[in-house]
Structure 1
Amino acid sequence: MRHILSLSGGKDSAALAIYMRDRVPEMEYIFHDTGKELPETIDYLSRLESVLGKPIHKTTEENGDFVGFDQLLKVYGGMIPSNHRRWCTRMMKLKPFERFIGEQPCYNYVGLRADEKRDGYISHKPNITPVYPFREDGLVKADIERILEESGLGMPSYTKWGRTRSGCFFCFYQQKREWVALKEAHPHLYEEAKAYEKPGKKAETTFYWCGDESLAELERPERVEQIKREHEVARERARRKAPNKPLIQVLGGADDVYEEREGCLICQL
């Protein structure tokens, strides 16, 4: 029986890897590299390797060749993914994951917390059995942060400039205020994401990351200010609905009451 923990570059899967390190010494750690990760994500995984004392396997390869986003985008005729056409999840996360496991029976460790009301990725393959250690042991968000701090790894550094999720830098599930933060923190990556927005093969539809709003429209100064104002209003409204959060979280901006919990869990946990 193999023991496999899939990492996303996010806090929950990183904390789970540390939590299970001494409990399951034979654990295999894997990361599905799309070739479009934030530099902070790659750095975080490198530091996590040092904490674990074991290598993290990169799985987005087929027959020894790297198969990333740009290669697959050509296959899909320039149609960038969205929540309605999530070929990125299927082809760069789930397919490499199941290929890596093969037909051997295995336990797949998933970083869902006890305070989350959602389901993790469950494979339809009969040889893969999901395991939820945080839920089984009753660990919540505060426990995950404690595990990360005590290990010396800490939170992913992209959270410092406003990103709430791991995954590709152009993830279509990120909020518009996160697009603004990306432009301010990594303007070259914002420009790269903007360059993908172009008409499809038949030139009937232009594919945008943010629904019907292009990144060229979103980056206009007046639109940026509007997004920031709306975000602050929403955060204040969320704070009023969660009055019992510790003062240090509210004052320090570390509260997650406005954090969007949507999207591909295998990318974000």
Structure 2
Amino acid sequence: MTEANSERPVRHLLGLSGGKDSSALAIYLRDRIPEMEYFFADTGAELPETLEFVDLLEDYLGKPIVRLNAGRDFDYYLKLHNNFLPSPQQRWCTINLKLIPFENYVGDDEVISYIAIRADEPSRVGYVSTKPNIKTRFPFKEDGLNKDDVTQILESCGLGLPKYYEWRSRSGCYFCFFQRQEEWLGLKKHHGDLYELARQYEKADEETGKRYTWNQSGSLDEIVSRAEKKASLPRKQTSKVSKKLIDNFSDEDDDSDSACLICMR
């Protein structure tokens, strides 16, 4: 007798972060793989611009984008971790809010997972599941598409880039600890309420004097103060500088993106 699992067709899955690359890949594959399933792991700490863009993308794709993590957001897992903030060394947020929900969504089904790593990112591998029922493909790499191609895909379909790229170089939670100081300053300027919430997560132990902050280089107020001072200095360059952080930083400026590709593509 044939087992039920062997009768089910292979599922094609594409995870969306609200970032440019995964969104462009969804558009690129929409007509090539009509049976594609799209999902978005909502951490409960997304930027408004991210949620808005995911809604726009859902309309363009013409099929639902499944939202994961219903009822269990960042604050839920923060309590489980005794209110210790995540860090590059302890990325429990990525594990609990991205990786585990994805593998639970897959279950035991045979799946092909499509990852939005481009041809001009030779050193990046992204998140590849070790589960034997999950196979991985990299269509942009396979077809030789680069960063300019991604931008062209988004512009030609009418969606363009998500609005947060005006002041931020990546998607992810509004308090993501991989942000540069300029991006924290951008959060304060564009979403003062979210910046204040991020500040409230930071704590200090009165007995030991130890501080629990989003960044090892200091509190958010200290980081933003340095960013404001840097921004006030005259620029010593002749070439025109774009107002968009996405244009001012290359993907190789730091390797933090590779640590959380499942969050930030």
Trace 1:209-224 onto structure 2 (pairs within 5 A): 209-220=214-225, 223-224=226-227
Contact preservation (8 Å) 2:241, 2:248: no
**Correspondence 1:1-269 to 2 at 5 A:** 1-61=10-70, 66-116=71-121, 117-160=123-166, 162-199=167-204, 205-220=210-225, 223-228=226-231, 252-253=242-243, 255-259=247-251, 260-262=254-256, 263-269=259-265
- Structure 1 contact 176–227 (Cα < 8 Å) conserved: no
User: What amino acid is aligned across from residue 265 of structure 1 in structure 2?
Assistant: L
Q: Deviations over 1:112-159 (max 9, x none)?
A: 000013111100111111110000000001110010011111001001
Q: Which moved more, 1:257-266 or 1:188-197?
A: 257-266
- Which whole-Å CA distance do the structure 2 matches of 1:201 and 1:59 have between them? 38
Alpha-carbon distance between aligned partners in 2 of 1:256 and 1:213, rounded to the nearest angstrom = 24
Q: For the aligned residues, what is the CA RMSD?
A: 2.2
SS in structure 1 of the partner of residue 211 of structure 2: coil
Q: TM-score, normalised by structure 2?
A: 0.87
Structure 1 residue runs of 5 or longer lacking an equivalent are 240-246
TM-superposed CA distance for 1:30, in Å, is 0.3
CA distance in 1, matches of 2:220, 2:110: 44
How far did 1:210 drift? 1.4
Q: Distance in 1 between matches of 2:208 and 2:62?
A: 50
Contact 1:5 1:30 in 2 (8 A): yes
Identical aligned residues as a percent: 47
Gaps of 5+ in 2: 1-9
Q: 2-side partners of 1:11 and 1:225: how far apart?
A: 27
Closer/same/farther in 2, CA of residues 13 and 217 from structure 1, 3 Å limit: same
